[in-house]
């Protein structure tokens, strides 16, 4: 197993105890489509907008792991033609969530791109209004990048904390929370990833004299899944060397400041009995009851991906250069696609045969 890595070793120790059940499987696995994967619980209020947005980016396959929803989430997802559903009714934990996601991904095989998201995250990259996410992954592969770094950008409204209680639907939240911090982020390379902290949640902690862990804003949501990969955290994966290659190319617009979000944190806190989440819930409740306004002179209104580029939060992509280079690779890519599909089919058949033998 190599040297001791606590996050990896803890995940491996809990791996066998967690078993997902297939609730619905309709997706074709033998192609190269990017698969969106999300672990959810009681997300009916967010899912229609979530699915609509990512379908507009050209994504056609969604995998949800449902953790004992009771609000009609499953009933809604069953009506969606491009969704596979897995169930895990057991207890929630941060480690367990990563195991659910990785076990679900294994059913679709290695050697393909996955987009791992929470339902309150909206992905943006330079030129996403006119370039597809497949162009983004093709450009990444051309540079040898297997995980694309993202910054979580907390979105907020130009209103006082007490008014956030009125944002009781996802549509209201997205429509109202149009602003983000253009400055005030700290970037620190570590042994396992590029660590990013800051943003309005950090300012909120300072306003309320709240002590706790700083908001962790770096993620690698878009990744090319290979056999050695282990999703040890929501913020990074093992082997850690793959986390060090990518520039910050993705912005994840994060709609955490809303009544819906606070209810989710309260639910997780109660079920997990984890002090960190309890503190986080206390922070948000204190904020919602306050007269503070997060809007400042450094707040920018989000209109397009170019706003994130101009503020330096995500990198600009030279699409013209990428197009010229990628066109030379198209022929080779076409030849390799068939081989990849055959390898994936072989992998899935072997996996199915192993289950039958058990």
User: 32-42: per-residue pLDDT in tens?
Assistant: 999 999 999 99
- Nearest Cα residue to 87 out of 51, 126, 118, 41: 41
- Is the bond into 239 cis (omega within 30 degrees of 0)? yes
11 or 293, which is more confident? Answer: 293
β-strand pairing of 194-198 with 185-189? antiparallel
Report pLDDT for 338.
Answer: 47
Query: Taking a C-beta distance cutoff of 8 angstroms, is the pair 153, 251 a contact?
Result: yes
Confidence category of residue 67, pLDDT binned at 50, 70, 90: very high
Query: Taking a C-beta distance cutoff of 8 angstroms, is the pair 260, 46 a contact?
Result: yes
Residue 329 has pLDDT above 50, yes or no: no
Confidence category of residue 110, pLDDT binned at 50, 70, 90: very high
Report pLDDT for 274.
Answer: 55
Distance CA 167, CA 16 (A): 40
**Mean pLDDT, residues 229-244:** 95
343 or 301, which is more confident? Answer: 301
From residue 86, alpha-carbon distances to 89, 147, 247 in Å are: 10, 25, 33
Confidence category of residue 331, pLDDT binned at 50, 70, 90: very low
Distance CA 14, CA 338 (A): 36
From residue 353, alpha-carbon distances to 22, 24, 169, 357 in Å are: 17, 20, 45, 6
Element containing residue 67 per DSSP (H, E): none
Distance CA 263, CA 281 (A): 9
Report pLDDT for 9.
Answer: 80
User: 300-327: per-residue pLDDT in tens?
Assistant: 999 999 999 999 999 999 898 755 444 4
pTM of the model: 0.87
Q: Mean pLDDT check: name the lowest of 149-158, 164-173, 240-249.
A: 164-173
Report pLDDT for 261.
Answer: 67
User: 248-276: per-residue pLDDT in tens?
Assistant: 999 999 998 777 766 766 676 666 555 55
DSSP annotation string for 269-305: HHHH--HHHHHHHHHHHHHHTS--B---TTEEE--SH
Report pLDDT for 91.
Answer: 85
Query: Taking a C-beta distance cutoff of 8 angstroms, is the pair 43, 119 a contact?
Result: yes
Query: Taking a C-beta distance cutoff of 8 angstroms, is the pair 281, 250 a contact?
Result: no
Residue 354 has pLDDT above 80, yes or no: no
Report pLDDT for 116.
Answer: 98
The C-alpha R_g of the chain, in whole angstroms, comes to 20
What integer best gives the mean pLDDT of the chain?
86
- Nearest Cα residue to 33 out of 69, 62, 6: 62
User: 53-64: per-residue pLDDT in tens?
Assistant: 999 999 999 999
- Tokens read off for 69: 């929803």
Residue 111 CA to its chain's centroid (Å): 19
Domain layout of the chain by residue ranges: 6-357
From residue 208, alpha-carbon distances to 181, 217, 289 in Å are: 18, 20, 11
Confidence category of residue 102, pLDDT binned at 50, 70, 90: very high
């Amino acid at each position: 197993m190599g040297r001791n890595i606590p996050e990896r070793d803890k995940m491996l120790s809990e791996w066998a105890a967690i078993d997902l059940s297939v609730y619905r499987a309709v997706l074709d696995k033998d192609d190269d489509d990017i698969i969106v994967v999300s672990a959810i619980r009681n997300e009916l209020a967010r899912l229609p907008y979530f699915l609509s947005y990512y379908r507009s980016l050209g994504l056609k396959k969604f995998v949800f792991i449902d953790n004992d929803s009771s609000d009609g989430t499953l009933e809604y997802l069953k009506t969606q033609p491009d969704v596979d559903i897995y169930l895990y009714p057991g207890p929630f934990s941060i480690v367990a969530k990563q195991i659910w996601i990785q076990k679900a991904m294994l059913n679709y095989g290695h050697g393909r791109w996955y987009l791992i998201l929470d339902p309150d995250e909206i992905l943006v990259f330079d030129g996403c209004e006119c370039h597809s996410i497949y162009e983004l992954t093709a450009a990444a592969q051309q540079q040898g990048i297997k995980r694309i770094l993202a910054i979580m950008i907390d979105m907020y409204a130009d209103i006082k904390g007490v008014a956030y209680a009125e944002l009781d639907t996802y549509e209201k939240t997205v429509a109202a929370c149009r602003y983000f911090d253009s400055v005030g982020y700290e970037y620190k390379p570590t042994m396992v990833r590029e660590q990013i902290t800051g943003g309005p949640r950090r300012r909120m902690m300072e306003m309320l004299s709240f002590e706790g862990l700083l908001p962790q804003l770096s993620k690698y949501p878009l990744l090319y899944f290979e056999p050695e990969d282990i999703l040890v955290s929501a913020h990074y994966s093992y082997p850690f060397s793959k986390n060090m290659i990518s520039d910050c190319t993705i912005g994840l617009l994060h709609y955490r400041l809303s009544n819906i979000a606070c209810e989710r944190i309260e639910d997780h806190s109660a079920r997990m009995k984890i002090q960190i989440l309890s503190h986080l819930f206390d922070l948000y409740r204190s904020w919602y009851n306050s007269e503070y306004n997060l809007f400042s002179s450094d707040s920018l209104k989000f209109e397009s991906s170019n706003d994130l580029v101009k503020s330096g939060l995500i990198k600009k992509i030279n699409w013209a250069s990428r197009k010229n280079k990628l066109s030379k690779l198209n022929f080779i890519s076409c030849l390799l696609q068939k081989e990849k599909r055959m390898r994936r089919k072989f992998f899935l058949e072997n996996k199915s045969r192993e289950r039958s033998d058990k």
